[in-house]
Structure 1
């Protein structure tokens, strides 16, 4: 990463996520310049990072930048992202790619792969336990997978309640857009991406509670007082390959939190717990003697990736950003978490929303 010392990075959208990415870029030795229409956000950003800021992102794009990180609210990613692409800049998008499929498609259409290197912040395909399971699936060692049970639930994690995060118009949705898109990115990486049929339901049980009880809230309470998104969702999916999947995702539940994937078929199966992390393979062999095999796979994982409840997102984001910088430096397009990958994830999420609204 020594060659990043001379890189200049533009960050558009200077809230908590923008601050995080700016500090990650600075940790690599990059010079950071920020842009945000909100004067308070610019002030906080400058105080935390010491970086120069602009009110207008178009002014930022006139600077000599090596790449841009887009961290604006979902609805505005198309405006900022396509402007950056039209300026010939390399762009890293915080996930999801946009607030809806049509907007995401326009971003992809604006991307010229010969001139701009792009990636979207779905970091699980770079996480070793996920990569390890994907390799077992690709090898055929587990045979055909017929069903997947995926769960990503928090005890309490409604983010920045009352802000754009809980506004359907700006965010495009609630927990399904936020955490569900992570789940779809993992299933997509495993090779399950084309949905044949889906039934789904979404629920709003906590986000609108007057006396919502929580111990901590990412981003704190918002001030716009908009809470018209779902905080949990359940879906039953059948993929075109015939594999089925049950999806449970929630910002808040009154049960133990989970971040797990159970996959099984007639020849084998696997259990992946992203919090531990634990990867167990399940197979059987004819004898004599016959054998039922439960094999725990030890995967080396940086302890900084783990915390008490869930994956330590900033460390995973740091590693993905490092991979992206390598692509920018080498002028190569990413094969994981690309714009087209993110577009398919957006399509999968929207199919679930459509089913829930029927």
Structure 2
């Protein structure tokens, strides 16, 4: 039986792939950046703005939505689509990232993960079955298995034991998954160790998920280490299924993972940077709090097609940011998210044209000030 979420690859340039991700809530052109809406909202942006930006898939977080507003509320609203009004594709993380980010207040066992709530300190156990069931209530098009994401510097033995437990959890998630209009993706772990990545990949692909994520990267390792692991891992993933890199959102990194065959990726970086007055441009990041922007009446990025660049100057936006005005945060957020979304649009075009490698190297050189 055909799963609810599938991908058709329509063009390749080296390992880079362009295609169409088909979901119950529409088709999404890939490679695609997925804005993160942890608590049911991409910070600062309405659903109408996300549509105008060209976002194809929006993320939600199972851990946070489980606590607030609660799975029952979301289920009664018709899932996240009904609750938020977003009618495009959605993906929910299982809470696996919180296993990493809340390491000081959680305890891992074979059963699952015991958390102290970030909201009131109460203790809750997330099992693979619970994480899968909650994601069923949330109703996103794509759900993720519960996994552990160990820190990059954890020893080989720890990563080995962790990936094997993650594989056992993945099997339990698959058994608990109700199916319907939701696809459940597996996650490959293994840290920076090639032998463990291969073992995790084998254990995970043996479960035959309709899509796969590469996890456990962007968690403290160097960019060179991250890319080396991905270069070894991505080509071994099933070629006819979606490939998802968890947690990358800087423009150079986006192009680098696309080059290695990734179809989907997410990160809070574009929205988080915006809240601190940091802007993504083709010539690198700008910090609007710097004095040099007080009388700079040019747009944030002359090549950008977003309304922020069309209607507001750096000087005005810098003023809003320095004064901590909400409008400033919203306008810069719109720009940053549109910037990475448009970058993916351009990448797709160059993959189809067959010159992605040369184009992306030139683009990265300019962005990093080497052009």
The TM-score by the shorter chain falls in which range?
Answer: 0.3 to 0.5
Structure number having the greater helix percentage: 2
- When the two structures are superposed, what TM-score results if normalisation uses the length of structure 1? 0.33
